[in-house]
Amino acid sequence: MARKVAIIGSGNIGTDLMIKILRSTNGALEMAALVGVDPQSDGLARAARLGVRTTSEGIEGLRRLPDYGDIDIVFDATSARAHLQHAEILRADGKLAIDLTPAAIGPFVVPAVNGSGHRGAANVNMVTCGGQATIPIVAAIAQVARVPYAEIVASIASRSAGPGTRANIDEFTQTTARAIESVGGAERGKAIIILNPAEPPLIMRDTVHAFALGEDEAALRASIAAMVARVQSYVPGYRLKQAVQFERYAAARAALVPGVAPGEEGLKVTVLLEVEGAAHYLPAYAGNLDIMTAAALRTAEDHSRAL
């Protein structure tokens, strides 16, 4: 049976997610409503043309819909601050909240890594675009070797960073770093985001630097390749930009890496990624937004079976 879903937030992310749900062929989800606060938003207009019910009265407008009680899952594509309020309401109303903001109230979910986990939770968090792109790689490295430290750099087109992204830069770096540790398996994580103003806009690029205690380069390559294929199952535009790079660190130099004890040696693993969007609603260069909506859709489909 298809689960009814609603989306709060009629901006780029919410609108793209709506189109992905409407295009999905597995029958797990049924689009019930798109919710915004601006009656003139393109998202609400697009939803109306596609036959999706809309309200411009925010979460209270959603709650007043006649079939609100039949909606099982609510995606929140607003802002971290707004989600703090929405989360309490949705929990009290018995809805599963899938949070696409960096609020990080619920447990972190990255479908390729822990998509089958946290079923039954009232609120799950999709981390950030940079987290969705890079945490699978950190996890793949951690499956083979101990990872004392991992650092990621997410570079996105400035045009693809809307007001919500710009208002949540601090939350982005903090949330992503925490998830690199709790989901990716690194003992210490760091995240950096770059808004690239280049014209024409560049496709999302991500770099993962991880220190791995071990020397099995073949096992690391195989683990990373398998993880890339797993992410590609729901984000087709996700790919390695070039071959995985390794640099051996002697004990003296390795001791400068956070979390590495004197005398320990290892490998600096560098993975360069590119994420091209599916261009359902957003431009293809906006892979940062596409990977978020694709991950949220996969998470909702996974959780719908347990509701």
Contact 115, 227 (CB under 8 A): no
Tell me whether residue 11 is annotated as binding.
Answer: yes
Tell me whether residue 114 is annotated as binding.
Answer: no
Tell me whether residue 167 is annotated as binding.
Answer: yes
Q: Tell me: cis bond preceding 200? Omega within 30 of 0 counts.
A: yes
Tell me whether residue 165 is annotated as binding.
Answer: yes
Helix axes 217-232, 129-142, angle to 10 degrees: 140
Tell me whether residue 157 is annotated as binding.
Answer: no
Tell me whether residue 125 is annotated as binding.
Answer: no
Tell me whether residue 119 is annotated as binding.
Answer: no
Tell me whether residue 10 is annotated as binding.
Answer: yes
The two tokens of residue 155 are 């570079």
Question: Could you give the CA distance from residue 122 to residue 274 in angstroms, rounded to a whole number?
Answer: 32
Tell me whether residue 277 is annotated as binding.
Answer: no
Bridge partners for 123 per DSSP = 97
The two tokens of residue 121 are 């939770």
Catalytic residues: 129
The sheet with strand 3-8 has its strands ordered as 53-55, 29-35, 3-8, 71-76, 96-99, 123-125
How many CA atoms are closer than 13 Å to the CA of 129, on its beta-carbon side? Answer: 34
Question: Residues marked as binding for NAD(+)?
Answer: 10-13, 160-168, 288
Binding residues: 10-13, 160-168, 288
